[in-house]
């Protein structure tokens, strides 16, 4: 397939690029400027600079592909605007074609929920409350095989923003890492290489569409993850924090998301033959890529 990919230089997108190239797909990497053109070309993609907020130009580039994957995000207040622009351009480019469009999302949209499935109600914290309307628009588009990949916390290869938050946790006077909140909340997680594998499977499967919740099924507590992070950075252990400390450290919006208690078995994802195969985040912290 000829696949248009946004976010090819990001943590998730770069792994999807490698996965697609390893399975023989041609990839056009959509870039907002040419600063990373050489890097994506070195990975076997064709770089194309396009204004993501120019609907006609973006739709033209997308329309030349057999399918598209959107993972790009500035990670700031402009994220909603960019997501909407890419989704709407893909809908316009693929209308009536049956081509696949894969749109990334995250499990925070479901709020506190110990058994998340694709049918779970949305209860998004303010940080990601804008996602639902865009995702519903993607899935309602006629003649487009739209899929929304709703991922747990992504980790692996010493990367990922949330693992970095744990590794950089403040320490008490005894040198112990302070957990985010009490640490009793659970976080669904997925290794970035396993997530990339799932994106490829959805892209290649003619029947795949709709929401897909993706997690490795481990659902560790934040206390367990922070204890493993303490091993990785040589800290003296962990000590429980508080909601107030987390909000002061991370800001209200981000803390609200990280204080959520969530879990999932990701049953529907396994219907495509997908199985997580990489070490869990606790093991990655203790013996894998994050260990200093």
Tell me what the mean pLDDT of segment 182-209 comes to.
Answer: 98
**Bridge partners (DSSP) listed for residue 264:** 116
Give pLDDT, residue 86.
Answer: 98
Residue 282, beta-bridge partner list: none
> For residue 128, with 0-12 CB atoms within 10 Å meaning exposed, 13-18 middle and 19 or more buried, which class applies?
buried
Which tens digit of pLDDT belongs to each residue from 7-48?
999 999 999 999 999 999 999 999 999 999 999 999 999 999
Burial class (CB in 10 A: 0-12, 13-18, 19+), 170: exposed
Whether 96 and 143 have beta carbons less than 8 Å apart is answered as yes
pLDDT given at position 292? 75
Within 10 angstroms of residue 59's Cβ, the number of other Cβ atoms is: 19
- Give the pLDDT confidence of 106-149 residue by residue, as tens digits: 999 999 999 999 999 999 999 999 999 999 999 999 999 999 99
């Amino acid at each position: 397939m000829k696949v248009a990919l946004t976010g090819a230089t990001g943590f998730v997108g770069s792994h999807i690029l490698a996965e697609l190239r390893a399975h023989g797909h041609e990839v056009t990497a959509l870039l907002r400027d040419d600063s990373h053109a050489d890097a994506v070309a070195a990975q076997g993609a064709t770089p194309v600079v396009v204004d993501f907020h120019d609907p006609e130009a973006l739709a033209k580039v997308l329309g030349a592909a057999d399918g598209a994957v959107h993972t790009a995000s500035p990670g700031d207040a402009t994220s909603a605007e960019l997501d909407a622009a890419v989704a709407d351009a893909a809908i316009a480019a693929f209308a009536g074609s049956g081509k696949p469009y894969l749109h990334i999302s995250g499990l925070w949209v479901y709020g506190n929920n110990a058994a998340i499935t694709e049918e779970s109600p949305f209860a998004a914290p303010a940080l990601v409350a804008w996602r639902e309307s865009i995702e519903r628009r993607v899935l309602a588009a006629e003649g487009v095989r739209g899929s929304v990949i709703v991922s747990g916390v992504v980790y692996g290869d010493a990367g990922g923003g949330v693992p970095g938050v744990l590794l950089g946790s403040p320490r008490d006077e005894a040198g112990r890492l302070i957990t985010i909140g009490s640490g009793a909340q659970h976080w669904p997680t997925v290794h970035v290489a396993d997530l990339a594998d799932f994106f490829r499977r959805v892209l290649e499967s003619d029947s795949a569409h709709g929401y897909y919740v993706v997690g490795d099924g481990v659902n560790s507590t934040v206390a367990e993850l922070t204890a493993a992070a303490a091993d990785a950075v040589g800290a003296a252990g962990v000590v429980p924090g508080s909601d107030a400390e987390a909000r002061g450290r991370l800001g209200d919006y981000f803390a609200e998301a990280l204080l959520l208690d969530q879990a999932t078995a990701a049953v529907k994802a396994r219907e495509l033959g997908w199985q997580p195969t990489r070490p869990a985040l606790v093991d990655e912290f203790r013996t894998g890529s994050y260990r200093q």
